[in-house]
A and B are shown apart, each in its own frame.
Chain A
């Protein structure tokens, strides 16, 4: 038998339910894998080995009985901005270096209730601000497919953990592409669901109106399984809504008869050739599978601009609570204000400060001049335009990122240039629409991602389209992603 860590969630689940393997075996295998890989990858900030073994033992008791949930006993990881009672939550920031919440995020609660085995808290950019997982008190996460490259961000630790087989699947957060872009850099699948489908309770807010808690998985099927777990109303999050869908049903219904839009060709001009190739191939395959393809125009540029203002504005407010009175190391100061200033100056990194001040600027009546209202009006317009485009369609196909993973340190001198890398992903957050990333191909070394974006609550349609492509693409992926790429999701 192969290494347990090679199994997808669906495969491992089958083994566990048939009692061919125990959850404790799986947990031990993953903890062993972590010891082996962590020094190089740095996917985790805080491993939770003891908790994992206890959870696995409990999962084994449940698996021995009837009706254990699908993901019972499956090891998973959670981004370090999701609270887990009794486990340090740093958000990769000095500010929260010693913070131990005594409450648990809804997503983790749901996973644990279903018998999930939490392996640890994963690395990220500080307070989820970034696209490279380099700006972290724990240091950079490396891409398991090429350790000189970034795993993407801000959920880079979650993506790297899954790609390095240090977790079967992982929970991340996506405010402007923060799970989809790392999934694309690591050759994985991630769904940013319709805003509100997954409770945000217990997730450290970055931009409350854009934040989504999202799974990162090896396959489309795994992603559907994870969504079954995560989706649904939570009385602790008033923006969440109910769902009783089973996302695994109808995955294989195919795309025949679907109307799928393809994003305007001009935006592909800025992308690397591998991305263009992947897009062209996906279009050909979809056509061959019976989908009707048409070119559409999405307001991507506008969405990115508005996104940056909204995200910074909300972040400046959400991070105001970190005033040093209850977080961060004690700072001397003659007045409470001095203390706050000292604690915030010492506790936040440069990117966080940049966004706080940018956001404060955008919101200020004196200097923003009421612009924020207009920004929100512009956002409403982007929503209307996008809804109009999607109206007659089942989904739109677009790249996830303009290229494959970049080398670590590429943006050290020009941090704001990295904002541009979110140009295909922010529109889904800004409009609240679902978008599903899957590996679309590779540049001969590293993978590139493509995404389906759909109407509100059209997750099942997106799953269907992605599932249809996934099986067609697997052969190409093997060729286009380097053989030496460790841990790449191979069909079992």
Chain B
């Protein structure tokens, strides 16, 4: 299950990232972006070359705490959202629905 957007050859920075971010970055956006690439590279380089770059990356302050998994007896039935009984209204935003499915043009490249 991966995207089907690998073109052959060695893509340039722009092309690669356009594929990655799924945008047609043409015109002004692309110009602004290519300028930013240069800046961000410089920024990253500056940070990385500074003496503070050592350390356990995953110990960053992403999380306030670890999550101790609950004992089976305590786990009970969770949580956030109850399942819905129908595709509507959750999928009503879809571009094309043929109940009960969301429909897209034929996807190729996947196991069929």
A and B touch in the complex (CB under 8 A): yes
**A353 CB-CB contact with B under 8 Å:** yes
A391 contacts which chain B residues (CB < 8 A)?
Answer: none
Give the contacting residue for B47; candidates A312, A326, A374, A431; CB below 8 A.
Answer: A374
Considering the chains assembled together, what is the distance between the CA atoms of A24 and B24 in angstroms?
Answer: 50
Across the interface, do A376 and B57 meet the contact criterion of CB distance under 8 Å?
yes
**C-beta contact mask, A322-340 vs B, less than 8 Å → 1, else 0?**
0111111111011111111
**B55 CB-CB contact with A under 8 Å:** yes
Considering the chains assembled together, what is the distance between the CA atoms of A383 and B25 in angstroms?
Answer: 35
Considering the chains assembled together, what is the distance between the CA atoms of A430 and B32 in angstroms?
Answer: 26
> Main SS of the interface on chain B?
loop
**A195 CB-CB contact with B under 8 Å:** yes
A241 contacts which chain B residues (CB < 8 A)?
Answer: 64-65
**A380 CB-CB contact with B under 8 Å:** yes
**B73 CB-CB contact with A under 8 Å:** no
Across the interface, do B102 and A377 meet the contact criterion of CB distance under 8 Å?
no
**C-beta contact mask, A405-433 vs B, less than 8 Å → 1, else 0?**
00000000001100000000000001110
**C-beta contact mask, B74-112 vs A, less than 8 Å → 1, else 0?**
000011110000000111111110000010111110000
Give the contacting residue for A357; candidates B17, B50, B91; CB below 8 A.
Answer: B17
| A236-B79, A241-B64 known; A375+B95 contact, CB < 8 A | no
| A238-B67, A337-B5, A416-B36 known; A380+B21 contact, CB < 8 A | no
Considering the chains assembled together, what is the distance between the CA atoms of A241 and B4 in angstroms?
Answer: 41
Across the interface, do A361 and B17 meet the contact criterion of CB distance under 8 Å?
yes
For the A-B complex, the count of residue pairs with Cβ-Cβ distances under 8 Å equals 188
**B28 CB-CB contact with A under 8 Å:** yes
Give the contacting residue for B58; candidates A238, A376, A415; CB below 8 A.
Answer: A376
Across the interface, do B95 and A362 meet the contact criterion of CB distance under 8 Å?
no
Could you say which of A32-40, A148-156, A343-351 contacts chain B? A343-351
Across the interface, do B39 and A331 meet the contact criterion of CB distance under 8 Å?
no
**B71 CB-CB contact with A under 8 Å:** no
Across the interface, do A377 and B40 meet the contact criterion of CB distance under 8 Å?
no
Residue of B nearest to A194 (CB): B64
| A308-B43, A309-B40 known; A357+B21 contact, CB < 8 A | yes
**A373 CB-CB contact with B under 8 Å:** yes
Residue of A nearest to B33 (CB): A357
B37 contacts which chain A residues (CB < 8 A)?
Answer: 357-358, 361
Give the contacting residue for A380; candidates B23, B60, B104; CB below 8 A.
Answer: B60
Considering the chains assembled together, what is the distance between the CA atoms of A353 and B56 in angstroms?
Answer: 31
Chain B residues with a Cβ closer than 8 Å to the other chain, count: 61
B79 contacts which chain A residues (CB < 8 A)?
Answer: 235-236
Considering the chains assembled together, what is the distance between the CA atoms of A416 and B36 in angstroms?
Answer: 9
A209 contacts which chain B residues (CB < 8 A)?
Answer: 61-63
Across the interface, do A326 and B94 meet the contact criterion of CB distance under 8 Å?
yes
B80 contacts which chain A residues (CB < 8 A)?
Answer: 201, 235-236
B17 contacts which chain A residues (CB < 8 A)?
Answer: 357, 360-361, 364, 367
**A114 CB-CB contact with B under 8 Å:** no
**A302 CB-CB contact with B under 8 Å:** yes
Minimal beta-carbon separation of A483 from chain B (angstroms): 41
Residue of A nearest to B27 (CB): A350
Give the contacting residue for B94; candidates A196, A306, A325; CB below 8 A.
Answer: A325
A380 contacts which chain B residues (CB < 8 A)?
Answer: 55-57, 59-61
A253 contacts which chain B residues (CB < 8 A)?
Answer: none
Across the interface, do B53 and A377 meet the contact criterion of CB distance under 8 Å?
yes
Considering the chains assembled together, what is the distance between the CA atoms of A238 and B62 in angstroms?
Answer: 12
A378 contacts which chain B residues (CB < 8 A)?
Answer: 47-48, 50, 52-53, 55
Residue of A nearest to B96 (CB): A330
Minimal beta-carbon separation of A336 from chain B (angstroms): 4
Across the interface, do B40 and A325 meet the contact criterion of CB distance under 8 Å?
no
B106 contacts which chain A residues (CB < 8 A)?
Answer: 335-336
**A476 CB-CB contact with B under 8 Å:** no
B23 contacts which chain A residues (CB < 8 A)?
Answer: 341, 344-345, 348, 353, 356-357
Q: Closest 10 interchain pairs by CB?
A: A330-B95, A381-B52, A236-B80, A377-B55, A345-B24, A376-B57, A373-B57, A196-B64, A336-B104, A376-B60
Q: Provide a sorted-by-A list of 14 A–B residue pairs whose CB atoms are within 8 angstroms.
A: A235-B78, A309-B43, A325-B95, A336-B104, A353-B21, A354-B32, A356-B21, A357-B25, A366-B16, A374-B44, A376-B57, A378-B48, A380-B55, A381-B55
Interface residues of B (CB under 8 A from A): 3-5, 13, 16-18, 20-26, 28-29, 32-33, 36-37, 39-40, 43-44, 46-48, 50, 52-65, 67, 78-81, 89-96, 102, 104-108
